[in-house]
Structure 1
């Protein structure tokens, strides 16, 4: 069995971060989201993975390398532009051959991994098997209808206006080689893309066996900033406390906090779960729960919680920052005080309201 990992999307919902950074490499608990996928694939016993890449191919290659650090052999599969999930299967046709494969979206976080899905697929031998998650807003996802007795998938809809169930496709699929015929039969949807939901529906319409498995533990599609922060919270729930950096006697560490080598904490309070990256600096500061500080970040005379700071970012003299994603080498400082006066240049008959 092989794995096909999709890492070619533009990440428009995460701009401006993704103007200069691949969305699959945004860190959650100080680890790129893509790495969670690769680790899950290796843990399921798969050793060969193809990664579909686009404009950020160079960044993905530098981060992942040949895959050996994950116990994988990685092949990179260029895609000229995102044209739908089913198009990625077309791009990977030669790599996949006639092998079974798992398709894993590179910006999806599955806390319990995919071993159960892979094992169930190997044991039951359906034509396809989908990982499903119950959601509150199914209209934002591909949605599956299920046979209540067998759990088999009887129908699929892509982002329906009137969803027939609350079972969203969680971004992980297992396929036999039969999916290739289904993909070749597709024409672009109204969105101009080749939809994998239509390919799976093609299998269903022809009486093929399409199974499902519910997500165990947490699951998150990290497509926007609020989802990234929530994924960070969920991932930090399992952090183990450990201090490898320097913490002075005037500081207090409360709860599950991991402090990496080279980090220093002086006259500060850190309340976990939180992670402090290598060579980060926390001085005269407060770091609250569900916060990840990447390598070489700096928090001085400031407070931050439920946030992510990427490498090299700094926070200096800012009273409180919450629910924020601060990009690489960004600097956050107090605004200068403004004089307690107003200067106006108003046209005739103007009406102005001023708080004073």
Structure 2
């Protein structure tokens, strides 16, 4: 069995970060979301992986390499434009051959992995098995309707009036029958080959399409709140590890992972929190559920329930909360301008300031 990982797409909901970075590489607890997916695939017993990449392909290749660091053998498949999930299957035909495979959307986060889904598919005679979960707002997802034995009888794509509360999670298993389906469908109104249309084709042509339910925690990490919640869930499980240096004037409470070369001076860190390698925390407060990337600097600052990416500086600003700060960003206190805010903000950004 092989795996097809989708790591293209533009990530519009996480702009401006995704103007310059692949959405699948935004870190959770200082590890890219994509890496969690690759580890889940490996832990399910699959070692041959094709990664579909788009305009951020160079960055994805740099972050994953040949896959050997994950115990995988990785092949890259270039998608010239984001033409739909089914189009990814279409262009991966030569790589996939006639083997069954799992298709994994690289921005999905499943804390308990996919071994249960893969094992169930291997033990079945299904042509497709779709991972589902109950949601409170099904109108924002692809939605599945089930028959009495758990078979999928119909799909709706972001319906105004959902006929169920079962959302399609971004992980699927397929037999080679899917190749006929993706060749048979036509582009949708948004000019994409939709995987839901291909699955519907399987159903309409008498193929066996079954459901499998998520066990544990799942998030599509396409929005800020989802990223922060995934970060919180991962940090709940960390253990205290101090590989950097912490001076006697600092206070460390709770579970805190401090990376090699990091220094903490005159600061308070309340876990769970992760401080990346070579970061410097000076006279600052780091609160629970915070990930500080490698090479970051916090001086006379305060931050909690946030993610700060590598090589950024926060100086003289407190408190920051529920924030996602990109790489090489500088956040500082305005000087000489009392009672004002001084901003330089790029396109598609969002800033919330207390009046």
Same fold (TM over 0.5): yes
Correspondence for 2:345: none
The structural deviation recorded for 1:125 is: 2.4
* Residues 126 and 284 (structure 1), Cα distance of their counterparts in 2 relative to 1, 3 Å cut: same
The structural deviation recorded for 1:150 is: 1.8
The structural deviation recorded for 1:336 is: 2.8
Correspondence for 2:353: none
**Structure 1 range deviating more: 82-91 or 218-227:** 218-227
Q: Measure the CA separation in 2 of the matches of 1:151 and 1:249.
A: 59
Superposed, 1:203-352 pairs within 5 Å as 203-338=202-337
* Residues 338 and 48 (structure 1), Cα distance of their counterparts in 2 relative to 1, 3 Å cut: same
Correspondence for 1:346: none
The structural deviation recorded for 1:134 is: 1.4
The structural deviation recorded for 1:337 is: 4.3
User: Helix, strand or coil for the counterpart of 2:163?
Assistant: coil
Correspondence for 2:85: 85
Correspondence for 2:20: 20
Moved over 4 A (4+): none
**Structure 1 range deviating more: 221-230 or 325-334:** 221-230
Q: Measure the CA separation in 2 of the matches of 1:13 and 1:226.
A: 11
Correspondence for 1:155: 154
Correspondence for 1:348: none
* Residues 257 and 340 (structure 1), Cα distance of their counterparts in 2 relative to 1, 3 Å cut: closer
1:119 aligns with 2:125: no
The structural deviation recorded for 1:235 is: 1.8
Q: Measure the CA separation in 1 of the matches of 2:259 and 2:133.
A: 34
Larger Rg: 1
1:40 aligns with 2:17: no
The structural deviation recorded for 1:110 is: 0.5
Q: Measure the CA separation in 1 of the matches of 2:117 and 2:336.
A: 57
The structural deviation recorded for 1:306 is: 0.8
* Residues 254 and 209 (structure 1), Cα distance of their counterparts in 2 relative to 1, 3 Å cut: same
The structural deviation recorded for 1:340 is: 7.7
Q: Measure the CA separation in 2 of the matches of 1:155 and 1:340.
A: 57
Tell me, which stretches of 5 or more residues in structure 1 are unaligned?
A: 342-356
RMSD of aligned Cα (Å): 1.3
TM-score, normalisation: structure 1: 0.93
Q: Measure the CA separation in 2 of the matches of 1:339 and 1:200.
A: 60
* Residues 339 and 275 (structure 1), Cα distance of their counterparts in 2 relative to 1, 3 Å cut: closer
The structural deviation recorded for 1:122 is: 0.3
Correspondence for 2:138: 138
Q: CA offsets per residue over residues 73-102 of structure 1, 9 Å max, x none?
A: 000000001011000000101100110000
Q: Measure the CA separation in 2 of the matches of 1:284 and 1:238.
A: 27
* Residues 203 and 331 (structure 1), Cα distance of their counterparts in 2 relative to 1, 3 Å cut: same
Q: Measure the CA separation in 1 of the matches of 2:105 and 2:222.
A: 11
